[in-house]
Amino acid sequence: MKNKKLIVGIVAAGLAISLAGCSGGAGGRGGDSGSGSSGGDNSGALVGVAMPTKVSERWIKDGDAVKSALEDKGYKVDLEYADNKIPQQVQQVSNMITKGAKVLIVASIDGGSLSDQLDSAAKAGIKVISYDRLLTGSENVDYYVSFDNYKVGVDQATSLLTGLGLADADGAKIDGAAAKNIEVFAGSPDDNNATFFFNGAMETLKPYLEDGSLTIGSGQDQFTQAATLQWDPATAKARMQNLIASTYSGGTKLDGVLSPYDGISIGIISALEGAGYSDSALPIVTGQDAEAASVKSIIAGQQYSTIYKDTRQLADQSVVMADDILNGKTPETNDDKTYDNKAKVVPTYLFQPTIVTKDNYKEVLVDSGYYTEDDLK
Residue 56 found at the interface with ligand BGC (CB under 6 A):
yes
Q: Which lies closer to ligand BGC via its Cβ, residue 63 or residue 187?
A: 187
Residue 148 found at the interface with ligand BGC (CB under 6 A):
no
User: Do 328 and 313 touch, CB atoms closer than 8 A?
Assistant: no
Q: Which amino acid is at 102?
A: K
Residue 289 found at the interface with ligand BGC (CB under 6 A):
yes
Residue 162 found at the interface with ligand BGC (CB under 6 A):
no
Residue 81 found at the interface with ligand BGC (CB under 6 A):
no
User: Nearest 5°: CA angle at 294, between 292 and 295?
Assistant: 65
Residue 305 found at the interface with ligand BGC (CB under 6 A):
no
Work out which of 231, 304, 308, 370 binds ligand BGC, going by CB under 6 A: 231
CB of 107 to ligand BGC, least distance (A): 8
Please report the DSSP string for 237-252 in residue order. HHHHHHHHHHHSSSSP
Q: Which lies closer to ligand BGC via its Cβ, residue 75 or residue 339?
A: 339
Q: Which lies closer to ligand BGC via its Cβ, residue 107 or residue 284?
A: 107
Residue 288 found at the interface with ligand BGC (CB under 6 A):
yes
Question: Of 102-141, which residues contact ligand BGC (CB under 6 A)?
Answer: 132-133
How many beta carbons lie within 10 A of that of residue 330, not counting itself? 12
How many beta carbons lie within 10 A of that of residue 100, not counting itself? 13
Q: Which amino acid is at 268?
A: I
How many beta carbons lie within 10 A of that of residue 328, not counting itself? 20
* CB-closest chain residue to ligand BGC: 261
Contact segment (CB under 6 A) with ligand BGC among 19-27, 186-194, 277-285, 359-367 equals 186-194
Rounded to 5 degrees, φ, ψ at 80 are -130, 140
| Number of shown-chain residues binding ligand BGC (CB under 6 A) | 12
- Residues near 33 by beta carbon (within 8 Å), at least 6 away in sequence: 39, 328
Q: Which lies closer to ligand BGC via its Cβ, residue 231 or residue 248?
A: 231
SS3 state at 108: coil
CA distance 217 to 281: 17
CA distance 325 to 46: 13
Residue 308 found at the interface with ligand BGC (CB under 6 A):
no
Residue 151 found at the interface with ligand BGC (CB under 6 A):
no
Residue 228 found at the interface with ligand BGC (CB under 6 A):
no
Work out which of 191, 310, 323, 324 binds ligand BGC, going by CB under 6 A: 191
How many beta carbons lie within 10 A of that of residue 29, not counting itself? 22
The percent helix, strand, coil of the chain (3-state, each to 5) is: 45, 15, 40
The binding site for ligand BGC (CB under 6 A) comprises: 56, 58, 132-133, 187, 191, 193, 231, 261, 288-289, 309
